Amino acid sequence: MKVFQYLILSSSLWFYSLSLLGVPTSEKPNILLITADDLGWNSLGCMGNKLKGLSPNLDRLASEGLLIKQGYVATPICGPSRQALYTGQFPQSNGFMGHGIQPPKWWKSTRTNAGTESITSQLLDHGYLSGMIGKHGSQWCRFSLPPHGENEQTGMGRNPEKYFAFTRKFLALAKEEKKPFFLAANAHDPHRYWARHPDETSHWINQMMGDGKWKPFPNGKPYPDPKSRFTPEQCPVPSPYPSESKIQETIATYYDSVNRMDQVVGEIIQALQESGLADNTLVIFLSDHGMAWDLSKWSLYPSGVRTPIIIRWPAKVKSGQIDSQSVVSVVDIAPTIAELCGLPPLKKTDGQSFSALLTDRPLKWQRTTAFSCFNYMNNHAEVDDSMPFFHSDLSKQFDQYRPSRALNTGMFCYIWNGWADGNTSLPKTMLGEFHWILTKRAKASPDSVMADYLETKNFIEYRTPEELYDLSTDPGCQINLADQNKFNDTVKKFRNRMKKVLQKTQDHELDNFLSFMSNQ
């Protein structure tokens, strides 16, 4: 009886949300899901970046719909972040926590991901024409057409012309077959190596492109240079780095790549406009995580896990909306798509539909906190074979296993580093693009300044078990408040919230966190 009542309630809520959006239940929306790769949350004009000509296409897209400023990904590493996007599950729930062999044997000894499903497979099963261009999807993703993701097919994910051509062809097929469509269009920019960066060599390009025949652009590459070119002097240096020329030069190449990613998005949207299908197409844009600096990619600060989420749906969503307060997690996207497309709720999802945010908010959006986690980068075969079971000191045996958990509210960022004991450090492969600068400055600066750089360098490498930042006064997360007495109550509240999330998701680090709590 309870199951029957639940199904009636779920169906009623779905029809109610569609009626609020003015969507005829017989007319399913098309879905165009666009992702960037390693895009910092504040690297777009619509998110406050002041560089002129940086992201005109995405700025326009944001102005034509809803810009959600407090979006957060599940984890700051590419593959697992995209798994969470498609399944609506956190990494500890679906078992995909890094690259290499996934899930690891030790995770499978604690639970199973049987029943995990993707939104792409659900859409396919319910009559959608589905496809993907660009970066990888998920083992659970099934499409109508083979994924169009080879480097030759996309110009290493950086050729706007190829994205336009594929999108146009795909949309023509959707019209011909008279089917609603789902298209995941994933750009590789601004993932390094960045445009015009010294490491963007012909050797690297030939290595990536393989032995296939491809026609180079005038620049000798399988993709064009960006339309905009930024000078080092234009580019502000993020905390905690000094304004050193090497850093500014690198940041300029990063912003050049952001501009080319924006061109890719512009070509995709142009193909959609020309198809005549734009009016009933729900466009969603986000990044998989932040940029590859220290305290960004692979870390759980907002610079690593925060992302803009842009929603455009001309037939149903009002233009010119900016939501700076509502917190949305990437695991909420798949449940939202499922609801709006009339699909059954995804099994075992950790997310919830935010369709209420697409209306004038007659329904109350419940989420106030976004959970994110980090486990490791790569799980190689020899490592996987050597660790068949999970144990509390896994980080001592697996040098890439650095479990961290975070809660972001928009006002505060709370982080628990389960591996930080004062002696264990991050592996060199997980230190950011500019870490060497801190080491250099720590050795060469006057004593007082040297101490600052040395302290920052050591903090990045060793962290501390618990961190708390007031983002209203410290958006760069430079002042850890976790040990300050006046924030004791705030820290306790976050600990209790974290405990509930880890319990609900059956996180393998729950016992370690409970042990940490009992010792405080």
ω before 160 within 30° of 0 (cis)?
A: no
> What total of structural domains would you count in the chain?
2
Asked if residues 287 and 308 have their Cβ atoms less than 8 Å apart, the reply is: yes
**Are 228 and 324 found together in one domain?**
yes
No. of H helices and E strands in the chain? Answer: 18, 13
**Are 204 and 339 found together in one domain?**
yes
pLDDT score, position 361:
61
Q: Is 481 exposed, middle or buried (0-12, 13-18, 19+ CB in 10 A)?
A: middle
**Are 320 and 227 found together in one domain?**
yes
Give the residue from 322, 348, 367 where a domain finishes: 367
Give the residue from 333, 367, 401 where a domain finishes: 367
**Are 253 and 398 found together in one domain?**
no
**Are 348 and 455 found together in one domain?**
no
Asked if residues 47 and 475 have their Cβ atoms less than 8 Å apart, the reply is: no
DSSP symbols for 329-340 = EGGGHHHHHHHH
**Are 104 and 183 found together in one domain?**
yes
Calpha distance 268→273 (Å, rounded): 9
DSSP symbols for 40-61 = -TT-SGGGT---TTS-HHHHHH
Place of tokens 């306790």: 492
Rg value, the chain, Cα = 23
Asked if residues 217 and 202 have their Cβ atoms less than 8 Å apart, the reply is: no
Residue 520: Cβ within 10 Å count: 10
pLDDT in tens, the chain (520 residues): 433 343 444 444 444 455 455 444 458 999 999 999 999 999 999 999 999 999 999 999 999 999 999 999 999 999 999 999 999 999 999 999 999 999 999 999 988 888 899 999 999 999 999 999 998 777 889 999 989 999 999 999 999 999 999 999 999 999 999 999 999 999 999 998 999 988 898 888 988 998 777 889 999 999 999 999 999 999 988 877 777 888 899 999 999 999 999 999 999 999 999 999 999 999 999 999 999 876 778 899 999 999 999 999 999 999 999 999 999 999 999 999 999 999 999 989 999 999 999 976 646 788 999 999 999 999 999 999 999 999 888 988 898 999 999 999 999 999 999 999 999 999 888 887 788 888 787 776 665 555 677 888 888 899 999 999 999 999 989 999 999 999 999 999 999 999 999 999 999 999 999 999 999 9
**Are 279 and 317 found together in one domain?**
yes
Asked if residues 474 and 468 have their Cβ atoms less than 8 Å apart, the reply is: no
Residue 276, SS3 per DSSP: coil
> For residue 507, what are the CA distances in angstroms to 16, 350, 393, 503?
34, 12, 15, 7
Place of tokens 């909420």: 332
Calpha distance 137→383 (Å, rounded): 24
Q: What is the 3-state secondary structure (H, E, C) of 375-443?
A: CCCEECHHHHHHCCCCCCCHHHHCCCCCCEEEEECCCEEEEEECCCCCCCCCCHHHCCCCHHHHHHHHH
Give the residue from 311, 332, 367 where a domain finishes: 367
**Are 28 and 71 found together in one domain?**
yes
pLDDT score, position 10:
45
pLDDT score, position 8:
40
Which residues, including other chains, have CB under 8 Å from residue 425's CB and lie 6 or more apart? 461, 462
ω before 80 within 30° of 0 (cis)?
A: no
- Phi, then psi, of 278 in degrees rounded to 5: -65, -35
Residue 257, SS3 per DSSP: helix
Can you say how many angstroms the Cα of residue 398 is from the centroid of all Cα atoms in its chain? 25
* DSSP H/E element including 133: strand 129-134
**Are 299 and 435 found together in one domain?**
no
Asked if residues 406 and 300 have their Cβ atoms less than 8 Å apart, the reply is: yes
**Are 24 and 121 found together in one domain?**
yes
Q: What is the identity of the amino acid at 91?
A: P
Q: Is beta strand 378-379 parallel, antiparallel or unpaired with respect to 99-100?
A: parallel
ω before 301 within 30° of 0 (cis)?
A: no
* DSSP H/E element including 106: helix 105-108
Strand partners, 372: 406
Q: What is the identity of the amino acid at 188?
A: H
Place of tokens 């006064």: 473
**Are 337 and 382 found together in one domain?**
no
**Are 358 and 415 found together in one domain?**
no
CATH number at residue 134: 3.40.720.10
Asked if residues 39 and 307 have their Cβ atoms less than 8 Å apart, the reply is: yes
Where b means 16+ CB within 10 Å and e means fewer, 310-341 reads: bbbbeebbeeebebeebbbbbbbbbbbbbbbb
pLDDT score, position 11:
45
pTM given for the model: 0.93
Residue-range definition of the domain harbouring residue 135: 2-367
